[in-house]
Amino acid sequence: MSSAEPLPRHGVIPSYLLARLAESGRFPRAAAAARQTLTAGRPPFRARIDLSIDENGDLVAQLSDAPNRTISDAGNTQQLPGAVVRGEDDAPVDDPAVNEAFDGLGATFEMLLAAFQRNSLDDAGAPLDATVHYGVDYDNAFWDGERMVFGDGDGEVFRGFTGSLTVIGHELAHGVVQHTANLEYQGQPGALNESIADVFGALTEQYAQGQTAAQASWLIGAEIFTEAVQGAALRSMIAPGTAYDDDELGKDPQPDHMSGFVRTTEDNGGVHINSGIPNRAFALFARDLGGNAWERAGTVWYRALTGGLSSTATFTEFADATVAAAVAVDEETAAAARRAWSAVGVYEHERGPGTSE
């Protein structure tokens, strides 16, 4: 991608859901906001010093990687980046959206560092920038290739997007994908792009809350719907297709198995729809292994992403990469990876790298 080309913008709310909402009679304000959102589109190293007291009572200073966050306010315009309202060393402000964005960026940074020893999105301490209050009633949050951007929602269907840690982790994960495999945002590679972002979003929440794979809800965007919507979240990783079922929004269209793979020209070839298949594979894999998902399971997925994966990788190619990464851990982990991909129909009869025909 040349520097003159616009960077891809990955929004957490899929266009098909906004299109459905745009026709709503039950939510007139949300319908108008969805139409406006669809029309608008999506448009230095830092270290910290950790102080502790050693066994001799002496003060010990350790230098470690730290986030470098800047939050800006678009003032309900669509002009980016907006006015800077909080920097890394600033105290919390009166605006909850600013503080939520700041904390969410930090939580994602901490997960990446603790789980994968990755120093920010590019593994070189890249600044974490975000803009809040983008547009009027803007029904989305997105990564524009350089920063996180948050709309406030319409208030009828969607709340402000800064309140969801899984959404923040998801969008920042697009930055990690951009700096690693740079998966094409179309078809199966695009669905993998979305799925890996969901994986990192879920891991960010689980790490922040200290949840095991068994304790986790595996919901993405559980906080963004209002009480008027019949649904728990935007997506469910453990049970794709069950996140919502609303008279106006319709039913969650995600398949949980390759037998339900959706072939469509919309949504960049179904990137937000078919991501349910690898999503379920990861959730099953993490639950099978037990413990904290960001440890063995997350490390396998991260190594597959960063180990030379093609930008046009299919589900099978990514599955092969995860099994190869799992084999490097131990055979128990590899067997669990094969079971997960078999359960969602990417592998047949648990076949995959390292198994006999």
What does the pLDDT look like over 153-168, one tens digit per residue?
999 999 999 999 999 9
CA distance 324 to 244: 35
More confident residue, 351 or 84: 84
Categorize the per-residue pLDDT at 350 as very low, low, confident or very high, splitting at 50, 70 and 90: very low
pLDDT score for 162: 95
110 included as an active-site residue: no
Categorize the per-residue pLDDT at 197 as very low, low, confident or very high, splitting at 50, 70 and 90: very high
| For residues 284-303, average pLDDT | 97
pLDDT score for 354: 46
Query: What single-letter amino acid sits at 167?
Result: V
Q: What is the mean pLDDT of the chain?
A: 88
CA distance 69 to 102: 7
More confident residue, 53 or 27: 27
Catalytic residue among 171, 194, 248, 295: 171
The answer to whether the peptide bond before residue 8 is cis (omega within 30 degrees of 0) is no
Would you give the end-to-end CA distance of the chain in angstroms? 40
Categorize the per-residue pLDDT at 31 as very low, low, confident or very high, splitting at 50, 70 and 90: confident
CA distance 41 to 140: 10
CB neighbour list of residue 7: distance below 8 Å, 6 or more residues apart: 1, 144, 145, 146, 178
Structure confidence by residue, pLDDT tens digits, 62-92: 445 788 999 999 999 999 999 999 999 899 9
- Nearest by Cα to 73 from 132, 149, 2: 132
More confident residue, 42 or 235: 235
Model's pTM, two decimal places?
Answer: 0.83
Query: What single-letter amino acid sits at 112?
Result: L
Catalytic residue among 10, 156, 272, 295: 272
Domains contained in the chain, CATH given: 10-343 (1.10.390.10)
Structure confidence by residue, pLDDT tens digits, 230-266: 999 999 999 999 999 999 999 999 999 999 999 999 9
- Interior/surface letters 129-146, b for 16+ CB within 10 angstroms, e for the rest: bbbbbbbbbbbbbbbbee
CA distance 167 to 202: 9
171 included as an active-site residue: yes
Categorize the per-residue pLDDT at 331 as very low, low, confident or very high, splitting at 50, 70 and 90: very high
Residue 353 has pLDDT above 50, yes or no: no
DSSP 81: S
